[in-house]
Structure 1
Amino acid sequence: MALLLALLPLASQAHAALYSTVIETPYGGVQGYPAFTSEPSGNLTHWQDIAVWKGIPYGATTAGEHRFKPPRPAQPWTGTVLDAADWGNVCPSAVSTNPNNYTIAEDCLNLNIWSAANSTDAKLPVVMWSYPAQSTAADALFDGGGMADKGVVFVSYNYRTGSFGWLAHPELRADYPDGKNASGNWAMFDQFAALRWIHENIAAFGGDPDRITVMGQSMGSAASQHILNSPLTRGLIVGAIIESGVRDVQDPICDEVAEAYLTLADAEAQGERYMEYLNVSSVAELRALPMDDLITVSAGLTATAEWQFTATLDYYAMPATYYDTLRDGLAADVPVLTGNTKDENGAVFGLNITAAEYLADMNATFSGSWLDRFLDYYPVSRYEADTRASFNAQWTDRSIVGTWLWAQLWATARSSPVYTYFWDHAPPGQDQGAYHESEINYVMNNLYDTDLPWTHADYAIAAQMNAYWVNFIKTGDPNGDGLVEWAATNASETVQQVGNGWGGIPLPSSLDLFTAWFSGLPYF
Structure 2
Amino acid sequence: MFLATARLGGIVAFASLAKGALYNQVISTKYGDVQGYPAFNGSTQGIDNWQDITVWKGIPYAASTAVSNRFKPPQPVSAWNTTMYAKDFGPVCPATLGEVGDHTLSEDCLSLNIWTAANSTDAKLPVAIWSYPAGSTSGDALFDGGGMADKGVVHVTYNYRNGALGWLAHPWLSAEMSASYGTNSSGNWAVLDQQAAVKWIHENIAAFGGDPDQITVMGQSAGSAATYHIVNSPLVKGLIKGAIIQSGVRYPKDPLCSSLAENYGTLDAALAKGSSYVSGLNATSLEELRALPLSAFGTTASPPGQGNDSFGAVLDHYALPTTYMESLLQGAANDVPIMTGNTKDESGASYGLNISASTYLSDLNTTYESWANDFLAAYGGANSSAAVSAAYNAQWSDRSAVGTWLWSQLWATSSQQPVYNYFWDHAPPGQTQGAYHESEINYVLNNLYGTDLPWTADDYAIAEKMNAYWVNFIKTGDPNGGNLTRWEQTGAEQIVQRVGNGWGAMPLTHVELFEEWFGNLTTVY
TM-score range, shorter chain: over 0.9
SS in 1 for 2:516: helix
The aligned amino acid for 2:472 is N
Q: Tell me the matched-pair count.
A: 509
Q: Is the 8 A contact 2:36 2:56 kept in 1?
A: yes
C-alpha distance in 1, partners of 2:333/2:505?
27
C-alpha distance in 2, partners of 1:398/1:257?
13
Structure 1 residues not aligned, in runs of 5+: 1-9
C-alpha distance in 1, partners of 2:306/2:271?
19
Structure 2 residues not aligned, in runs of 5+: 1-13
State the match for 1:514 in structure 2. Answer: 514
CA 1:456–1:188 in structure 2 vs 1: closer, same or farther (change >3 Å)?
A: same
Report deviation, 1:258. 2.3
Report deviation, 1:281. 2.7
Question: Do structure 1's residue 66 and structure 2's residue 69 form an aligned pair?
Answer: yes
Q: Is the 8 A contact 1:301 1:307 kept in 2?
A: no
C-alpha distance in 2, partners of 1:145/1:213?
17
State the match for 1:34 in structure 2. Answer: 38
State the match for 1:5 in structure 2. Answer: none
Sequence identity, in percent?
Answer: 61
SS in 2 for 1:174: helix
User: Which one is further off, 260-269 or 284-293?
Assistant: 284-293
State the match for 1:256 in structure 2. Answer: 259
Q: Is the 8 A contact 2:131 2:224 kept in 1?
A: yes
User: Which one is further off, 219-228 or 283-292?
Assistant: 283-292
Question: Do structure 1's residue 476 and structure 2's residue 477 form an aligned pair?
Answer: yes
CA 1:323–1:280 in structure 2 vs 1: closer, same or farther (change >3 Å)?
A: same
Within a 5 Å distance, the mapping from 1:210-221 to structure 2 comes to: 210-221=213-224
State the match for 1:4 in structure 2. Answer: none
State the match for 2:10 in structure 1. Answer: none
Q: Is the 8 A contact 1:60 1:75 kept in 2?
A: yes
Output one character per residue of 1:73-105: Cα deviation in whole Å (capped at 9) or x when no partner. 111112x10010101111011x44535131110
Within a 5 Å distance, the mapping from 1:300-449 to structure 2 comes to: 308-368=310-370, 370-381=371-382, 385-449=386-450
Question: Do structure 1's residue 100 and structure 2's residue 101 form an aligned pair?
Answer: yes
Q: Is the 8 A contact 1:191 1:223 kept in 2?
A: yes
C-alpha distance in 2, partners of 1:49/1:119?
11
C-alpha distance in 1, partners of 2:30/2:284?
41
SS in 2 for 1:15: coil
Q: Is the 8 A contact 1:421 1:498 kept in 2?
A: yes
Output one character per residue of 1:53-87: Cα deviation in whole Å (capped at 9) or x when no partner. 00001000000121100111111112x10010101
SS in 2 for 1:359: helix
C-alpha distance in 1, partners of 2:192/2:15?
43
State the match for 1:187 in structure 2. Answer: 190
The aligned amino acid for 2:267 is L
C-alpha distance in 2, partners of 1:279/1:101?
33
Q: Is the 8 A contact 1:163 1:298 kept in 2?
A: no
State the match for 1:3 in structure 2. Answer: none
State the match for 1:465 in structure 2. Answer: 466
CA 1:62–1:126 in structure 2 vs 1: closer, same or farther (change >3 Å)?
A: same
C-alpha distance in 1, partners of 2:344/2:98?
29
State the match for 1:504 in structure 2. Answer: 505
Q: Is the 8 A contact 2:163 2:309 kept in 1?
A: no
Output one character per residue of 1:301-338: Cα deviation in whole Å (capped at 9) or x when no partner. 6688x973111111122111001110111331100000
CA 1:76–1:202 in structure 2 vs 1: closer, same or farther (change >3 Å)?
A: same
Report deviation, 1:174. 3.0
Report deviation, 1:280. 2.5
SS in 1 for 2:325: helix
Q: Is the 8 A contact 1:383 1:389 kept in 2?
A: no
Q: Is the 8 A contact 1:313 1:319 kept in 2?
A: yes
TM-score (norm 1): 0.94
SS in 2 for 1:55: strand
SS in 1 for 2:369: coil
Q: Is the 8 A contact 1:404 1:420 kept in 2?
A: yes
User: Which one is further off, 27-36 or 166-175?
Assistant: 166-175
Structure 1 stretches of at least 4 aligned residues deviating more than 6 Å after TM superposition: none
Q: Is the 8 A contact 2:277 2:306 kept in 1?
A: no
Report deviation, 1:175. 3.0
Q: Is the 8 A contact 2:281 2:302 kept in 1?
A: no
Output one character per residue of 1:145-174: Cα deviation in whole Å (capped at 9) or x when no partner. 000000000000000011111110011013
CA 1:222–1:311 in structure 2 vs 1: closer, same or farther (change >3 Å)?
A: same
TM-score (norm 2): 0.94
The aligned amino acid for 2:329 is R
C-alpha distance in 1, partners of 2:241/2:62?
24
State the match for 1:6 in structure 2. Answer: none
Question: Do structure 1's residue 21 and structure 2's residue 21 form an aligned pair?
Answer: no
State the match for 1:151 in structure 2. Answer: 152
Among residues 54, 60, 68, which one is paired with 1:57 in the alignment? 60
The aligned amino acid for 1:334 is V
Question: Do structure 1's residue 240 and structure 2's residue 243 form an aligned pair?
Answer: yes
Question: Do structure 1's residue 207 and structure 2's residue 188 form an aligned pair?
Answer: no
Q: Is the 8 A contact 2:273 2:306 kept in 1?
A: no
Q: Is the 8 A contact 1:245 1:257 kept in 2?
A: no
SS in 2 for 1:114: strand
Report deviation, 1:188. 1.0
CA 1:462–1:399 in structure 2 vs 1: closer, same or farther (change >3 Å)?
A: same
CA 1:344–1:298 in structure 2 vs 1: closer, same or farther (change >3 Å)?
A: farther
Within a 5 Å distance, the mapping from 1:449-460 to structure 2 comes to: 449-460=450-461
State the match for 1:7 in structure 2. Answer: none
Report deviation, 1:441. 0.2
CA 1:490–1:98 in structure 2 vs 1: closer, same or farther (change >3 Å)?
A: farther
Output one character per residue of 1:267-316: Cα deviation in whole Å (capped at 9) or x when no partner. 10110111122233333222222212212347886688x97311111112
